[in-house]
Amino acid sequence: MRELPRTITEAAQKLRAHEVSAVELADAFLEAAAADPNNAWLRLEPDHARAQAAAADARLKIADAPVLTGVPWACKDIIGTKGIITTAASRILEGYTPAYSATVVVRLDESGAVMLGKTNLDEFAMGSSNENSAYGPVRNPWDPTRVPGGSSGGSAAAVAAGQAIFALGTDTGGSIRQPGALSGVVGMKPTYGRVPRYGVIAFASSLDQVGPLTNSVEDAAIVCEALFGIDPHDATTIDRPVDVRRDLDAGVKGLRLGIPREYFTPTGVEPGVTAAIRAAIAQFEKLGAEIVDVSLPSTDKGLAVYYIVQPSEASANLARYDGVRYGLRVAGKDLVDTYRKTRGAGFGPEVKRRLILGTYALSAGYHDAYYVKAQKVRTVIKREFDAVFEKVDALITPTSPTVAFPIGSKANDPLQMYLNDVFTLPVNIAGLPGLSMPCGLSEGLPVGLQIIANSYEERMLFRVAAAFEAATEHHRQRPMKDRAA
């Protein structure tokens, strides 16, 4: 095959025109992934992929085969896959093989998509750089000395490097959008409750959400339509319409787009990022949108809220890894010693840091002072978003304050690392949908534009994003071509 397709639409056209079979397409992507120099993959599953591709070829003979039939994709290794090792990039789950697949995997299986394998991530999705994996850091395809963003860095790098047409990630505080921004692809976090979490290894249950990483806005919408919908196994899911592509070509003329002033004032935002975002805002004005100055006064409280709620929920969720029921077991002289040795050997430094923070915040005497107060401020943040969305149709912000930074440059400074998510985590706190898409380059590296919509307004989110993508060429920039140049 001369050139691998980059989008779902392109792949679907080639498959239906019989220019390539699903098996041939899977083999081509498996070959590309096997040559990956960026440590994006933890394991490829050639036999599984070829079996799914063969089934897809049979299905493609039927006229009404779903659009994802035969399309190769990559699965973040925190999403459970029946019979296929799922580790969350942690030693404590080394060799763990789930007895069932996550609902999102089942839905993609039913759509005929072809899973190539499992991608690397920050351990238990705890990180903003994909340097915290027990299996080594992921490198950015644009510059292998830099991070791809995290925690879904392997998924983002695989899509950016052309090793999968789309990937699934999880987003707890920006873990789809931030690597999407730093790796130059589209990363989309749906409204909380849109996508079932059943079968996804839990990190922070009131914040986690599964979403796609793709090379186009339309692709993200296509994947979302396959994933969305109520699930009897997940009580947080809600039954809402899933046809989010209906207004993709409607444009933004007449829409009111809010610019939250607090997202443009923090120190640490690189000038190149600010310039690219300002240029994007000007483009929206040119397309006929009305730009509205708005305020979200509690934005600066988001980081503190997130780093109380998220570690607290993580400390409860990860208590199940005790060396007794499954996963790693390091025997001690008694039960408590077994717990200590198993968790000491199985968890990495960042996971331990967050578990300590969360356990402290939930402990007697501190629960009300930290966790309860954080939840109250969380409500304030959500109400501020609600008030703003009474005035505007969507919000435009940066995704990350910086472009991809050098590997190791922030590894010993947790606060600086946590600040990478300052623009993304309020979206999770409020349970809103958010999307990051390429909007230019700074120092030869991608800059991400974040679009935020009101709850369950993914149709509006994709409408705004599609209008910008159609008017610009940023999504066509490729890391290997730019580096070669």
- CA distance from start to end of the chain: 24
Chain segment 367-378, per-residue pLDDT in tens: 999 999 999 999
Q: Where are the domains of the chain?
A: 8-254+402-484
Average pLDDT across the chain, whole number: 95
Residue 344 has pLDDT above 50, yes or no: yes
Cα–Cα distance, 105 to 115 (Å, whole number): 9
Output the pLDDT for position 149.
Answer: 97
Rg over CA atoms, the chain: 21
Please tell me the predicted confidence (pLDDT) of residue 342.
96
Residues 387 and 365: their CA atoms lie apart, in Å, by 34
- Reply yes or no on whether the pLDDT at 53 is more than 90: yes
What's the DSSP call for residue 320?
Answer: G
Instruction: Over range 457-463, report the average pLDDT.
Output: 98
The band of 485, judged by pLDDT with boundaries at 50, 70 and 90, is: very low
Cα(370)–Cα(311) distance, rounded to whole angstroms?
Answer: 12
**pLDDT tens per residue, range 89-126:** 999 999 999 999 999 999 999 999 999 999 999 999 99
State yes or no: pLDDT of 328 exceeds 90. yes
pLDDT, residue 413, reads 87
- Give residue 93's pLDDT: 97
> What pLDDT does residue 309 have?
97
Architecture of domain 8-254+402-484: Alpha-Beta Complex (3.90)
CA dihedral 271, 276, 280, 282 (to 10 degrees): 60
Tell me what pLDDT residue 484 has.
39
Can you tell me the distance from the alpha carbon of 161 to that of 383, in angstroms, rounded to the nearest whole number?
40
- What percent of the chain has a predicted confidence (pLDDT) above 70? 98
Mean pLDDT of 373-389: 97
Q: Read off the pLDDT of each residue in 191-206 and give the average, rounded to a whole number.
A: 97
pTM of the model: 0.96
Q: Quick one: pLDDT at residue 63?
A: 75
Strands, DSSP E only, in 40-125? 41-44, 72-76, 114-119
Integer Cα distance of 192 and 210 in angstroms: 9
Given a cut of 90, whether residue 480 has pLDDT beyond it is no
pLDDT exceeds cutoff 80 at 267: no
Q: Retrieve residue 254's tokens.
A: 């007449």
Rounded to 5 degrees, φ, ψ at 260 are -70, 120
pLDDT above 80 for 483:
no
Catalytic residues: 76, 151, 175
State the pLDDT confidence band at 1, using cuts at 50, 70 and 90.
low
Give the pLDDT band (50/70/90) at residue 482: very low
**How many angstroms separate the CA atoms of 237 and 287, rounded?**
35
Higher-scoring residue by pLDDT: 64, 299: 299
